[in-house]
Amino acid sequence: MMDEILKEAMRILQDIVVMDENYIRKTLNRESYIEAYLQDNRIDYHVFEFYVPAPDFVKYYLYVDGEQIRVLPDGLRSGKVEVSERVKVNLKDSVDLYYEYSYPNINFNSLCDGVSTPNFYNAPALAISKKDVPKLLNAKDVDAYLEVRVKDVKSKAFLLGNVEDPKRVGVVHYDALWTGAIDNSLSLASVLAMAKHGQLDLKDNMVLLVGFTEVTFYWPEYWDYSFRRVIEEFDFIPQKENIIIDSFGYRNTVLLDLRGRKPTTYAERVFYEAYKIFGEKIAQITISQEDLFPIYHSDIDTVDKVDLKEAEKGIGYIKELLGKDD
């Protein structure tokens, strides 16, 4: 059965992993795909609809001495990024998590070969590739601009299985930035494939699929607005065991299990801070930040990055925690 699930998950990945710089369009397309898949495969589900203050990145560019440099937007405020006279101050390595997030900047991920947006900023900000950093450092003239608007978008959360009193809740964010094969399309594809093949225990457990979790106009926790809205509606969720399925299948897939204990390692603390809204009984199927950063929120998080053995390991964890007994 594992071979069939893995084959179906990879087929889904080929359907849904496309490069799209329009985050709203990408998320709504993903939403439509999920609903059609559930209907086509006769998988019972409930829908919770709510509005999200999503970012509409209208216009963004960077010119360095007249040359246009490829960028991706990662700011939540419009305006020019003034860097020409203080470039070394305003140029930021996004791997450094200790930074003032309300300061205009041009940023890069020193661990990634593509353009990567690990963090979002409450200021005009643009991401570039590390290969373009020398151009910026040696520039005489820099013209950088971002225009972003708030757009209220109706979003759907999909609830599969026991929505009254589940033993465990599997949580998958179905949205993705730019390409997003590992983060988080493989998680979504695996859960859908397992549901299709009847490998999830949906009598005792619930699986929650939520969009618009990568970024919203909800500062500073810009990633958890949609989670908050769902938990407000289904307030039993933080009392349950919550299994967060987020970014596995690339390198060193692990289970970070904090059910009943406090975080002790750096990886566990990062996980806890991101998902503490789900209560004290949480676990995550994932990879470490160190392993994820080479592709994180980048334009090179593509299907070819999936390691099938690591994907199988992640699916095995899902089966162990949310699957039916053999």
What residues make up the domain containing 81?
58-149
pLDDT at 90: 55
**Dihedrals phi, psi of 310, to nearest 5 degrees:** -70, -35
Mean per-residue pLDDT, 73-89: 74
| Cis amide leading into 220 (omega within 30) | yes
Write out pLDDT tens, residues 254-285: 999 999 888 888 878 888 888 989 998 999 99
Residues 185 and 92 in one domain: no
Pairing mode, if any, of strands 72-73 and 125-128?
antiparallel
How far apart CA 68 and CA 63 sit, in angstroms, is 4
Residues 265 and 277 in one domain: yes
The top-scoring range by mean pLDDT among 38-42, 104-108, 142-146 is: 38-42
Write out pLDDT tens, residues 165-191: 999 999 999 999 999 999 999 999 999
pLDDT at 96 over 70: no
pLDDT at 141: 87
The residue ranking higher by pLDDT, 204 or 141, is: 204
Q: What is the mean pLDDT of the chain?
A: 91
pLDDT category at 326 given cuts 50, 70, 90 is low
CATH code of the domain containing 312 = 3.40.630.10
Write out pLDDT tens, residues 22-71: 999 999 999 999 999 999 999 999 999 999 999 999 999 999 999 999 99
- Indicate the residue among 121, 149, 177 that finishes a domain: 149
Query: CB within 8 A of 32, min separation 6: which ones?
Result: none
pLDDT at 163: 95
pLDDT at 296 over 60: yes
Distances (CA, A) of 128 to 70, 96, 115, 179, 278: 6, 15, 5, 16, 33
How far apart CA 196 and CA 234 sit, in angstroms, is 25
Residue 129 contacts residue 283 (beta carbons within 8 Å): no
Residues 202 and 125 in one domain: no
Residues 168 and 305 in one domain: yes
How far apart CA 15 and CA 82 sit, in angstroms, is 40
Model-wide pTM > 0.75: yes
pLDDT category at 160 given cuts 50, 70, 90 is very high
Residues 81 and 187 in one domain: no
Residues 67 and 134 in one domain: yes
How far apart CA 229 and CA 49 sit, in angstroms, is 9
Residues 67 and 171 in one domain: no
The percent of residues above 70 in pLDDT, for the chain, comes to 94
pLDDT category at 83 given cuts 50, 70, 90 is low
Query: CB within 8 A of 57, min separation 6: which ones?
Result: 21, 22, 23, 73, 146, 147, 148
pLDDT at 99 over 70: no
pLDDT category at 84 given cuts 50, 70, 90 is very low
- Indicate the residue among 149, 176, 203 that finishes a domain: 149
Residues 261 and 182 in one domain: yes
b/e sequence 144-162, b meaning 16+ C-beta within 10 Å: bbbbbeeeebebbbbbbbb
Write out pLDDT tens, residues 226-252: 999 999 999 999 999 999 999 999 989
Question: What is the Cα Rg of the chain in Å?
Answer: 20
Residues 186 and 68 in one domain: no
Residues 317 and 230 in one domain: yes
Residues 29 and 135 in one domain: no
Residue 136 has which token pair? 């910026």
The percent of residues above 90 in pLDDT, for the chain, comes to 77
State how many domains the chain has. 2
Residue 11 has which token pair? 């087929």
pLDDT at 92: 62
Write out pLDDT tens, residues 187-217: 999 999 999 999 999 999 999 999 999 999 9
Pairing mode, if any, of strands 168-173 and 241-245?
parallel
pLDDT category at 86 given cuts 50, 70, 90 is very low
Residues 144 and 290 in one domain: no
- Indicate the residue among 149, 182, 211 that finishes a domain: 149
pLDDT at 271: 84
